[in-house]
Amino acid sequence: MSPRELPPLPAHLWLVPAQWLPPTVEKAADARADGRITEDEAESMGYDQLPCSLDESAPQLAVRAARRALERAGVRPGDVSAVLHAWTYYQGHDFWSPAHYVASAAGAESAVPMGVQQMCNGGAAALETAVHRLAADPGRGPVLTTTGDRFAPPGFDRWAGDYGVWYGDGGTAAVVGAAATRDLVPAGSLVLCALATRSDPQLEAAHRDRGAFHPAPHSRSAAVDTRRTKKAFLAARGRDWFLDRLRAQTAATLADALRQAGIDGDRPAPRSVLLPRLGRATARNVYGPAVATVTAAPPGDLGERTGHLGAGDLLSNLTELADDASPWCLERGEFGVVLSAGAGFTWSAAVVRRA
């Protein structure tokens, strides 16, 4: 439960994020009409639709986002020093490295590919790993971080496979670099001011069957059934205890990041704190109260038309902060905060400033 703050960041560490969401969507209203969700569940979530990939795999979605990020950053794929790919669910093959596929398909043939598996905090973990590489060798070429998830049947029910989470398909990416001087930071990019991470490993049992370990995927059930594991965990530990842990760790991680960024209270005031895309009830019961104990900056849940993007929530939210067409876009010099969380449990908070 101790804080995992990075050493002092390079002074001009920048990132250019992007995302790719499939054009095909499934509507919550249709899922309700088909009996896949209840009216109470729809009200609790408050989301309208989920992007769904009909044919492209999770790594292919990541490649689409990667190409978009490289183009926006003006970085040639051959100049990328590493590709860090994160995911939460099946990548399309059983015994294989999706990170190497992403690097090859994105044209980063000279890069060192690495897979990052930290469940839904994977995007933040990939970003932290990129920062460590650049801090150790600022002259190293930029790093490409990606995420890709596709929650397709028969192995996953995006609407009913979990309590309080609806899962959307998508790819996200960010080009991360270290500039020698402030003048060399790409215009419109996000300057990374802080990145803090905390963990609480005793909570890993929320996603693990309480019986024996299994010899192969789907040995216990034909599809992922997180409701089963969470139900057993909450029966053993208690719902109130669990929610208290989530709120406390979220608040502590956010406080770590703001302190690391030199933000004292609300000076300078962050424009917003963007939340993991886990629905209206979780925002109300967990993230909203946690944020309010640390800062007056308004929280924002951007999952209405995406749902939860697995490992991609953090980079998708960062994309909104850098997209001039987004209502959440930062003005030049403004600060924004993005929270991330993943099973295990691990929390991260990134503080960025618009260049």
Q: Choose between 115 and 9: higher pLDDT.
A: 115
Query: In the predicted model, what is the mean pLDDT of residues 29-42?
Result: 95
Query: In the predicted model, what is the mean pLDDT of residues 304-320?
Result: 98
277 contacts 307 by C-beta, under 8 angstroms:
yes
pTM of the model: 0.94
The rounded distance, in Å, linking the Cα atoms of 63 and 23 is 16
| pLDDT attached to residue 6 | 56
Helix extents (H) in the chain? 28-33, 39-45, 58-73, 98-105, 122-136, 226-237, 239-260, 280-282, 288-292, 313-322
| pLDDT attached to residue 5 | 56
- Say yes or no to pLDDT of 46 above 50: yes
Query: In the predicted model, what is the mean pLDDT of residues 47-76?
Result: 97
Mean pLDDT of the chain: 94
Structure tokens at 31: 């899922």
Is the torsion defined by CA of 283, 199, 244, 232 positive or negative?
positive
Render pLDDT for 340-353 as a digit per residue (tens, 0 to 9): 999 999 999 999 99
Among 45-54, 230-239, 322-331, the least confident range: 230-239
Render pLDDT for 95-119 as a digit per residue (tens, 0 to 9): 999 999 999 999 999 999 999 999 9
The reply to whether 3-184 and 193-354 are identical in fold is yes
Among 41-50, 107-116, 138-147, the least confident range: 138-147
Domain boundaries, the chain: 3-184, 193-354
| pLDDT attached to residue 8 | 67
| pLDDT attached to residue 210 | 86
For the chain, what percent of residues have pLDDT higher than 70?
97
The DSSP result for 138-167, as a single string, is: TTSPPEEEEEEE---TTT--TTTSSSS--B
> The domain 3-184 belongs to what CATH superfamily?
Thiolase/Chalcone synthase (3.40.47.10)
| pLDDT attached to residue 247 | 96
Render pLDDT for 182-215 as a digit per residue (tens, 0 to 9): 888 888 899 999 999 999 999 999 999 988 899 9
Render pLDDT for 275-295 as a digit per residue (tens, 0 to 9): 999 999 999 999 999 999 999
- SS3 call for 40: helix
Q: The domain 193-354: what is its CATH number?
A: 3.40.47.10
Structure tokens at 152: 């397709």
- Say yes or no to pLDDT of 1 above 50: no
The rounded distance, in Å, linking the Cα atoms of 163 and 2 is 28
Query: In the predicted model, what is the mean pLDDT of residues 261-275?
Result: 90
Query: In the predicted model, what is the mean pLDDT of residues 144-168?
Result: 96
